Chain A
Amino acid sequence: GAVVSQHPSWVICKSGTSVKIECRSLDFQATTMFWYRQFPKQSLMLMATSNEGSKATYEQGVEKDKFLINHASLTLSTLTVTSAHPEDSSFYICSARGNSGANVLTFGAGSRLTVL
């Protein structure tokens, strides 16, 4: 089945630094990937849609200059949290459409970011 891998699974960084999270589709090509953010005890909120070879589409209220998304190939999308602050601490999850049928997304295992 379709597998989506995220790396790192957890990261701790100092305030003001930038952190890059990778999302890879391991056994299929994904022209579109999605990035979500999950706060504690909350549901997932779509941040942006990552399109291979073009600019990402950001949801309302998401700062595109803070959350840089690059979809350089059909199997890799990256999310860079720039100049991270403690309020950026969260669980970030990516997803992509796998090959298990229409309208079914495969999710990565998530990346937990803690900004000190």
Chain B
Amino acid sequence: AQSVTQLDSQVPVFEEAPVELRCNYSSSVSVYLFWYVQYPNQGLQLLLKYLSGSTLVKGINGFEAEFNKSQTSFHLRKPSVHISDTAEYFCAVIRKGGSQGNLIFGKGTKLSVKP
């Protein structure tokens, strides 16, 4: 079975500061990794994904994440955040070959960007 841990439930940060949202996963098999963003009262929007290849993945809105197999991590980063980045961010994994519906989500990290 797979599991996802997002260590920080809330991350407050000032506008234009860098941010890192942490994600660690546990799995006995190879996985695909995802970051989703959820704005208030909205569904999830895919930020970026790691399927294979380069471990540094660039996504939308200036976000990037790095897959570290030895540390089983997939931390999300942005060098300079905006007020509009305020949202909840979910890390998710799915085992390779698994049913697409069986995405395992972390509990989410609420990013609050302050002026």
Contact = CB atoms under 8 A, between A and B. Distances in A.
Interface string A81-100: 00000000000010101000
Dominant SS among interface residues on chain A: strand
Interface residues of B, number: 23
A31 to B, nearest CB: 11
B41 A44 contact: no
A11 to B, nearest CB: 13
Interface in B43-96: 43-46, 49, 51, 90, 94
Dominant SS among interface residues on chain B: loop
Contacts of B102: 46
Contacts of B108: 41-43
Contacts, number: 60
Contacts of B32: 103
B42 interface: yes
Interface string A1-22: 0001010011000000000000
A29 interface: no
Given A44-B90, A46-B101, A104 B46 contact: yes
Contact of B103 (A10, A41, A46, A101): A46
Given A34-B100, A43-B108, A104 B42 contact: no
Given A44-B105, A109-B41, 18 more contacts: A10-B41, A32-B100, A32-B101, A43-B90, A43-B106, A43-B107, A43-B108, A44-B44, A44-B103, A93-B43, A93-B44, A95-B44, A95-B101, A97-B100, A102-B51, A105-B46, A107-B43, A108-B43
